Amino acid sequence: MTGGRRLEGAVPIAGAKNSALKLMAAALLAEGTTVVEHAPRIADVSTMAEVLEALGSRIAWVDHRLAIDASQAGGHETPYELVRRMRASIVVLGPLLARHGRARVAMPGGCNIGSRKIDLHLRGLERMGASFSFDHGYLVAAAPALRGEVISLDFPSVGATENVLMAAVCASGTTVVENAAREPEIVDLAGMLTEMGAKIDGAGTTTIEIHGSGGRLLEAVSHRVVPDRIEAGTFAVAACATRGDVLLEGARAEHLDLVLAKLVEAGARVEVGDRGIRIGMDDRPAAVDFVTLPYPGFPTDLQPQMMVLLSVARGTSIATENVFESRFMFVDELNRMGADIRTEGHHAVIRGVERLSSAPARALDIRAGAATVIAALAADGVTEVSDMHFVDRGYEDLEGKLTLLGAEVERERAPRPALR
């Protein structure tokens, strides 16, 4: 990437990765063909398709329309090779218990951003009658019958809320999830499950109530994925970092409230219209403090990108990371590009510098990788970012979209064959 070009124009926002993956898992709860519309063409969706195929589903993926025929999905084991690639594969646990009363799921790997336990998933499902054991790296789960219970999560975990939700829709009786995650992707999943015939109240609030079907499977439906607020936020920050002006087509401002507020505090112009969100910045950003928290707080998935913007701000900002303990790892990459950031536990002190300078850099995970790309676009000179396969997990055709906006980007080799 040759830095220094303003990003200008309109960019279409894809369907949300973090929703699409869960909607795909939910297809296991119906016997017919579930269609996920507006599915992003990213490597993680491809991996989830392989997970579902390993379980016996048939997948047809044309453009952004993904059809999942789960009528023959008799399998209950997800292989290590796939779960290792993508931690979110664990989200098939709830649907498998609901459908087959058993599951054998490899223990997850995934992004390198902290210990990422699954204890809350397991405790919730245990309360509903599941039992777990571990066998040579596999989690072995059994639940002859799932029953509704009150489940109070210690932390509003996105994945735990989703696994419990998908188990509960086919359980007997009523499940109440307290301290549930409130992310728009949870609302999207609950929306699709409701279209499939599930009875769910309160999705998007801290208490979700689910009236189970008593063991009956749901109806297959067609559902359009909610727009990706993290992709939109990434382009919003990139627009600001290059002093550009970009229309985020299809982005939903109500899902980015705090992010937009922080960008405005930093000096961005934001207009919300029928086509999406238009965002631009003319001057060096002002320093802004921010704290990551579960939704509706500032998303941890936009923390690295925001750090890049603030690294060239006038003044000193403080970022606090409350969701993933190791998410500051990429700061070293950014400092190599001339940023002045010091971390102390889960706080980072960002002293704004005039400019970033190009240096060979690595994508460390999906979001840190996107942040490194933004740093390259804002830096002077040519920056080579390696390990872009991380970014391909979550961003559809990033270089194509950046080129559309006027960036000077070249891909050295084709993306990993993620698309089938």
Active site residue 111: yes
3-state secondary structure of 204: coil
* DSSP SS3 for 146: coil
Q: Tokens 């749901």 map to which residue?
A: 218
Q: Which residue is nearest to ligand UD1 (CB)?
A: 159
Q: Of the two residues 115 and 133, which places its CB atom closer to ligand UD1 in the complex? A: 115
Q: Name the one range near ligand UD1 by CB under 6 A: 108-116, 194-202, 243-251, 342-350.
A: 108-116
Helix, strand, coil percent content, the chain, rounded in steps of 5: 35, 25, 40
Smallest distance from the beta carbon of 15 to ligand UD1, in angstroms?
A: 13
Radius of gyration of the chain, Cα coordinates, nearest whole angstrom: 21
- Determine the straight-line distance between the first and last CA of the chain, rounded to whole angstroms: 27
- How many CA atoms within 13 Å lie on the side-chain side of 138? 16
Our finding on whether 157 is near ligand UD1 (CB under 6 A) is: yes
Task: Give me the 292-331 binding string for ligand UD1, x by CB under 6 A, dash otherwise.
Answer: --------xx---------------------xx-------
Q: Which is nearer to ligand UD1, 16 or 170 (CB)?
A: 16
Q: What is the DSSP string of 272-320?
A: EETTEEEEE--SPPBP--EEB-STTSB-GGGHHHHHHHHTTSBSEEEEE
Kindly indicate which of the ranges 74-82, 155-163, 355-363, 404-412 contains the residues binding ligand UD1, using the contact rule CB under 6 A. Answer: 155-163
- Would you count residue 211 as binding ligand UD1 (CB under 6 A)? no
What is the nearest approach in angstroms of ligand UD1 to the Cβ of residue 90? 8
Is residue 88 near ligand UD1 by the rule CB under 6 A?
yes
Shortest spacing between CB 292 and ligand UD1, in angstroms: 9
> Which residues, other chains included, contact 344 with Cβ-Cβ below 8 Å and sequence gap of 6+?
none
Among 160, 167, 177, 374, binds ligand UD1 (CB under 6 A): 160
Nearer to ligand UD1, 17 or 278 (CB): 17
Q: Does 18 bind ligand UD1 (CB under 6 A)?
A: yes
Other residues' Cβ atoms within 10 Å of the Cβ of residue 209: 19
Least distance to ligand UD1, CB of residue 306, Å: 14
Please name which of 251, 249, 195 lies closest in space to residue 222, comparing C-alpha atoms: 195
The answer to whether 368 contacts ligand UD1 (rule: CB under 6 A) is no
Nearer to ligand UD1, 124 or 285 (CB): 124
Q: Is 169 in the site for ligand UD1 (CB under 6 A)?
A: no
How many C-beta atoms surround the C-beta of residue 51 within 10 A?
Answer: 25
Residue 416 binds to ligand UD1 (criterion: CB under 6 A): no
Beta bridge partners of residue 245, listed in sequence order: 8, 280
Among the listed residues 118, 218, 251, 270, the single contact to ligand UD1 using CB under 6 A:
118
What DSSP element (H or E) covers 178?
A: strand 174-178
Does position 159 interact with ligand UD1 (CB under 6 A)? The reply is yes
Candidate list 111, 248, 319, 385, residue with the active-site label: 111
Contact criterion met (CB below 8 Å) for 369 and 392: no
| Closest by Cα among 320, 114, 294 to 204 | 294
Positions marked active-site: 111
Q: Site residues (CB under 6 A) for ligand UD1?
A: 18, 21, 88, 114-121, 155, 157-160, 181, 300-301, 323-324
